[in-house]
Structure formats: C-alpha cells, structure tokens
C-alpha cells in the first residue's frame, strides 16, 4: 500500500494496535478498546486486514472470518461482518494455506503464490475498509505478528502499510510475560522508518505480573530511549474469559492439565496437530463440575474420562494419518467399546468414519486415508466449501441446536447400524436436511455443526447423560458462551484501570 492511497470518508477516525510479535495480546487490546469506545457512545468497528487462524466463524452474510474479529465486533456491539477481516489465511500444511477473501475461499496457495496475489488482496482490503469507514465513527485496527518483520515489509498489507493508508496513529503492544520487553519495544522502534515512528504514538506493556511500581524505572527507560510514552502497564489476567484467536496455547502445550475426579464429569479432547475451531469446547470448560483436558498422546486417555471429543481439524487427511501413526485408533475404539461416549465435530466427524477420500487433492496428495471406523460413513473431500449458518434439532433427544458449518467434504452412510444425528435448516427456511450420524443411541455421534455445544439444551443433555452413567445427580446447564458479553465490560474495566485511556482516546478525538 502506498502512503496516502486512501483516506476514510465521512470523517471516520482510526486507531491501530500493532505488536512486537505474535501472541502479545493485540486482539484482546483491540477488543478492550472497541468496548471502551462503545461505552463512550462511539459507533466503532474492528478491522484486521489479514488474519491467520484456523479458528473461524460464519457471519450473517454467510462468509468466513477469524474468531478474533468476532470477539471485537461483539465488544463493539455489532454483528460480525466479512468487512472486518477481508483476508483470512487458514494454514493446512507447513508451506501452504487456504486463502479466504471477502469471506469466500479463493484457493490454496503457498507463500510465493500468495505474495504474487498481493495487488488483488490490497484492493480487497481497501474496499472492505471503505465500507466500514462509511458506516462508523471510529475504526480500531489490529496488526498481525510483528510490525517490523524486515523481510516482509515490502509486501505488507496489515501493519504499518495499513496505518499509512488510513492515517491511523499506532500503539505498539509488547508482552512482558515472555521476557525481553525492552528488546521487543526498543528493537522494534529502531527498525521503524521515520514515517513509521511518526505514526507510533506510544506503547502498552501487556501481561505484567507483580507490583507495577517495580517497573517504574522500566517505563522511564523505554520513554527515554524512544521519546514516546508508555500508555499502559496491563496486568496479566486469568479470570476474564475471552475467546483466543488461535490454537497457539494448545499447540505449544501451554494449557495446564486439570485433575480428573470421580465426582466430576471428565472430558478429553483429542488435540489434533492442525486443530481448528477449538472454541466449540469453551462452553463445556465453563460448566461447574466439568473437567476438560486436551490430549495429544493416546496413553493419556485413561479410564478416568467419561467422554472423548474429536474437534475440527484444518487437514483431516494428515491428522488421520497422525492418529494411525501415534496409536490412537485402537485406543479410541477401546474407549468406545467400554461404553463411554465419543463425539466428533466437523473434521473429527469425518475421521470417525471408515475412510476419507481426497480425489482432487484438496488437502493432501494421498487419495484416501482410513478413519477410526466407529461410524459407518465415508467422506469425500470436495473442491467447493460449505459455509452456512444453520439451526435445527437433535434426532436422538429432540434438543434444539444452532451454529454454523465450515467444511469441504461430503459425508454419507455406507450401510450398517445407526441413524442420522441432526435435522438442520437454514434460518428462515423450511426445507432442511439430515446431518451427521450416530450409533448405539448416540453413544458415538458425529456432526458438521460447529457450536452444537453452545446451545444450553443440547449441552445440558450431553452432560447429564454422562452424569447418569457414573451415578451423579443431574444439573442445569450453566450460561455457557452467553457469559462472554459481561466479560467484555470486565475487560474494558481492566484496561481502563491500567492504561492512560484519555490520552489514547485523544488520538482519535483530537
């Protein structure tokens, strides 16, 4: 993007949060300030030109965006829109990713092909921003990764290039919890061009632990070396529940294993190497008396667990091969054979079947891989992606369900026992279809429906079946993901208490 390439119409102001690296908290900071601005009466919207995440969501338009922009939109009091995240990259291999543009699949590209596509991507990004700017008073932008990756700057369309294009003042977010905060901030400052420094209004030191007074000399040092203010030292929090942008915490084993107990419902989640849409499980994690652990080794699936959930995966072919190589297949079959429950969602559902075929090379060069063989179904991966919001009911227990589908496969029964799991339809339409498959009265079941556990009726029935099986009393379901709306106010309160909010808002009010 060229400086001055675009200015928003209608007097819309912009504020941008950049990062010294990935996972420093940019998404959460952006959500916090979307909420802060909303509470002050602004018509505010979030924007991230390009996001890389396998944790996605289907908007009301039927398009796919990153989950972080969903959180930010909800914090701003808005329905999520594809314009808030015009480019979404969904990594599926070490060298390639599926490119989603304006909510729809463009194709699967490697890094070099993606860079060749940048001129078209820039156009898509600017068109989306213009539409948002014409409808709102303030746009809060989020950068991606480090804002000073020198080998990527030339083709940048999400960090300083975006800030220059819309004239956004920038605040650089650093993560003190990982260490090296002075190198993060001062190193980034020295890598900035003169124009980039001019756009940088200050810094936020995020994820601080301990007594903030002990960091006073650190603030003074940063401000002396850069000539820019530290606008906040924000303490680490663990009691505010905000959706994570991606599966970094899962993939890097940063989640502590909770202790299972006989008086609790203990649920294991199979942690695929390319796990996606893990937010499907967060409603369970918030339930009292429920333990949820993510497992990568079959040896960890002990007899203490009452249920196993196979979540989504961005590369079902390779993750199915991983299951076989690591010895998961006989372990999962034995778990089900002992009378305990197995639920698969999207890619997990596909893997529960007899086999997955990939005749067009959608995910892999392998034409076919075996599944777990616990559902009599077969999946054929298709080139056209299914992206839609749906609602319906369970055909096993009758509970209402709702959510969305994001998948590139068609799954069909191939004989044997069982029955369809759900009856679904698009909201507002009468004609529907049957989804998923279940055997043994639902003891093993799979579905394409993301968000099925968000519905309190289904979640309550699922958990109470587990409680009855181990002799525990039934309970009403908790608030689940509905609690997140109160969490946005708690998040805003947290940042208001530890940031110079008047000075930050002055960047858009002045």
Instruction: Provide the annotated active-site residues.
Output: 346, 450
**Residue 386's beta-bridge partner residues?**
407
The C-alpha atoms of residue 410 and residue 424 are separated, in whole angstroms, by 15
Q: Rounded to whole angstroms, what are the CA distances from 115 to 122, 267, 508?
A: 11, 42, 32
At 246, is the secondary structure helix, strand, or coil?
A: coil
- Contact in structure between 98 and 50 (CB atoms under 8 Å): no
Nearest CA to 142 out of 262, 34, 246 is that of 34
The C-alpha atoms of residue 291 and residue 289 are separated, in whole angstroms, by 7
- Beta strands 230-235 and 200-208 are parallel
The C-alpha atoms of residue 357 and residue 378 are separated, in whole angstroms, by 8
Question: Which residue reads 């279940």 in tokens?
Answer: 438
CA angle 381, 352, 259 (to 5 degrees): 130
Tokens found for residue 416: 């044997």
Phi, psi for residue 114 in degrees, rounded to 5? -65, -40
The C-alpha atoms of residue 128 and residue 169 are separated, in whole angstroms, by 20
- Contact in structure between 333 and 374 (CB atoms under 8 Å): yes
DSSP 239: S
The C-alpha atoms of residue 482 and residue 25 are separated, in whole angstroms, by 23
The C-alpha atoms of residue 455 and residue 328 are separated, in whole angstroms, by 29
Tokens found for residue 122: 């820039």
The C-alpha atoms of residue 257 and residue 109 are separated, in whole angstroms, by 36
The C-alpha atoms of residue 120 and residue 436 are separated, in whole angstroms, by 38
DSSP 21: S
DSSP 79: -
How long is the chain?
510
Give DSSP secondary structure letters for 148-181: T-TTTGGG-SSSHHHHHHHT--EEEEEESTTS-H
- Contact in structure between 108 and 102 (CB atoms under 8 Å): no
**Residue 341's beta-bridge partner residues?**
307
At 378, is the secondary structure helix, strand, or coil?
A: strand
Tokens found for residue 304: 């203490």
């Amino acid at each position: 993007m060229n400086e001055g390439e675009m200015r928003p119409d209608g007097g819309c102001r912009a504020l941008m949060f950049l990062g010294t690296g990935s996972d420093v908290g940019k998404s959460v900071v952006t959500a916090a300030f979307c909420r802060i601005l909303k509470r002050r009466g602004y018509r505010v919207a979030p924007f991230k030109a390009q996001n890389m995440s396998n944790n996605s969501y289907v908007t009301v338009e039927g398009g796919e965006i990153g989950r972080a922009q969903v959180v930010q939109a909800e914090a701003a009091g808005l329905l999520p829109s594809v314009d808030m995240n015009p480019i979404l990259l969904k990594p599926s291999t070490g060298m390639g990713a599926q490119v989603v543009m304006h909510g729809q699949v463009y194709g699967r590209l490697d890094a070099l092909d993606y860079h060749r596509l940048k001129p078209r991507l820039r156009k898509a990004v600017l068109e989306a921003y213009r539409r948002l700017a014409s409808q709102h008073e303030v746009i809060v932008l989020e950068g991606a990764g480090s804002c000073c990756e020198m080998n990527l700057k030339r083709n940048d369309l999400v960090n300083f290039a975006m800030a220059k294009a819309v004239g956004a003042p920038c605040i650089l977010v650093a993560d003190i919890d990982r260490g090296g905060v002075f190198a993060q901030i001062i190193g980034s400052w020295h890598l900035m061009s003169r124009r980039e420094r001019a756009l940088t209004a200050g810094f936020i030191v995020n994820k601080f632990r301990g007594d903030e007074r002990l960091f006073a000399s650190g603030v003074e040092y940063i401000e002396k070396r850069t000539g820019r203010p530290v606008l906040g030292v924000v303490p680490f929090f663990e009691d505010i529940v905000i959706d994570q942008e991606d599966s970094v915490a899962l993939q890097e084993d940063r989640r502590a294993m909770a202790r299972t107990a006989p008086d609790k419902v203990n649920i294991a989640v199979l942690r695929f190497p390319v796990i996606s849409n893990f937010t499907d499980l967060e409603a369970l994690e918030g339930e009292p008396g429920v333990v949820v652990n993510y497992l990568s080794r079959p040896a960890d699936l002990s007899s203490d667990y009452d249920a196993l959930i196979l979540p989504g995966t961005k590369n079902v072919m390779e993750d199915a091969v991983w299951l076989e190589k690591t010895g998961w297949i006989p372990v999962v079959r034995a778990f089900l054979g002992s009378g305990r429950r197995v639920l698969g969602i999207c890619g997990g559902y596909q893997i529960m079947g007899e086999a997955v075929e990939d005749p067009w090379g959608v995910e892999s060069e392998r034409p076919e891989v075996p599944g777990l063989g616990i559902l009599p179904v077969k999946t054929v991966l298709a080139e056209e992606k299914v992206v839609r919001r749906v609602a319906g009911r369970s055909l096993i227990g009758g509970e209402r369900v709702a959510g969305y589908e994001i998948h590139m496969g068609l799954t069909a029964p191939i004989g044997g026992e069982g029955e369809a799991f759900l009856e679904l339809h698009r909201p507002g339409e009468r004609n529907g279809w049957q989804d998923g498959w279940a055997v043994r009265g639902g003891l093993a079941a799979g579905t394409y429906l993301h968000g099925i556990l968000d519905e309190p009726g289904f979640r309550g029935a699922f958990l109470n079946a587990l409680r009855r099986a181990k002799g525990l009393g039934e309970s009403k379901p908790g608030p689940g993901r509905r609690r997140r709306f109160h969490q946005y106010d708690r998040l805003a309160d947290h940042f208001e208490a530890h940031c110079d909010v008047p000075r930050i808002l002055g960047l858009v009010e002045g």
